[in-house]
Structure 1
Amino acid sequence: MTNVTTHKPPMWFLVISIIALIWNLLGVFAYIGQAMMSDEVLKQLPEADQEMYANLPSWYIGAFAIAVFAGTIGSLLLVIRKKWAFHVLLISLIAALAQMYYLVFVLKMANAMTPMIIIVGMALVWLANHATKKGWLS
């Protein structure tokens, strides 16, 4: 049995963790919306978007799912102050990097959200690491 000492984190840590959880839940909803898109909704999109959605590789869809679900779980782990948050958020970041690579360099579809997703992912990995070092997570 290990003897781990944890310290109570400052209030801002909990606030940021809850905001991160909400951010990642929005990603889950975006993934579910894309994954469950009906043919009727798909047909209402511009033809170029229809073709793009029809031709997304399965690894991209998997990376999207891993990024948002791992991000949500990792953020929840931050809220409940568990060290596993770092590893789960790192997995989320790696999946998001793969996903954004495809969007930017293959589909050439970068927008303002692309760097924002990467920056938030990196910040959450840093926060989890920082919180672990400070003894806020057990």
Structure 2
Amino acid sequence: MASYLRQKPPVWFWIVAIVLLLWGAMGCYACLQQFRLGADAMGPADAYYRTLYATLPAWYNWVYAVAVGAGFLGAIALLMRLATARLLFIVSLIAVVVQFGWLFATTDMIAVRGAGATVPFPLFIVAVAAFAIWLSGHARRRGWIG
């Protein structure tokens, strides 16, 4: 859609896009902390988390980086009113599903820590990523981005 045909987004769009940008920035910070500190990224880790982190495959952290990086760039694209936001959010969601899908399918984390302690936050992350995809598609259909 040509830029002269774009419609002015409502205020709530800008607020939500800024929240998504802050969410993405926090994700990037958490990822960098995990690269830097390993298992201790979220505070002092116990023996279970140290062992779990030590056994993660080499690609795992890079999938994490793709997930948060694509989400952050998607939020920037959304604020810049670019249609590429949707593709970046889709890449982010795919990486999130790979990351947590592998973690839950191949480790004993749920059995050891319990579903109540391990599943809600990843589900929230998936929900935010799915919402970002929906929002960028909605914005495109409304002519707010393009």
| TM-score, length-scaled by structure 1 | 0.90
Instruction: Tell me which residue corresponds to 1:72.
Output: 72
The reply to whether residue 118 of structure 1 matches residue 119 of structure 2 is: no
- For 2:128, the aligned partner's letter is V
3-state SS in 2 of match to 1:27? helix
**1:43-78 deviations in Å (ceiling 9; x for gaps):** x52111111111111222111000000000001111
Instruction: Tell me which residue corresponds to 2:49.
Output: 49
Q: Which runs of 5+ in 2 are unaligned?
A: 111-117
- For 1:127, the aligned partner's letter is L
Q: State the distance in 2 between where 1:94 and 1:38 align.
A: 23
Task: Map 1:1-138; keep pairs closer than 5 Å.
Answer: 3-4=2-3, 5-37=5-37, 41=40, 44-107=44-107, 108-109=109-110, 110-138=118-146
Q: Specify whether residues 85 and 38 from structure 1 end up closer, same or farther in structure 2 by C-alpha distance, changes over 3 A only.
A: closer
Residue 118 of structure 1, CA deviation? 0.4
**Number of residue equivalences:** 135
1:60 and 1:98 in contact (8 A); partners too: no
1:9 and 1:136 in contact (8 A); partners too: yes
Q: State the distance in 2 between where 1:68 and 1:32 align.
A: 10
Q: State the distance in 1 between where 2:15 and 2:80 align.
A: 12
Q: Which runs of 5+ in 1 are unaligned?
A: none
**More helix by proportion, 1 or 2?**
2
1:97 and 1:118 in contact (8 A); partners too: yes
Residue 38 of structure 1, CA deviation? 6.6
| TM-score, length-scaled by structure 2 | 0.85
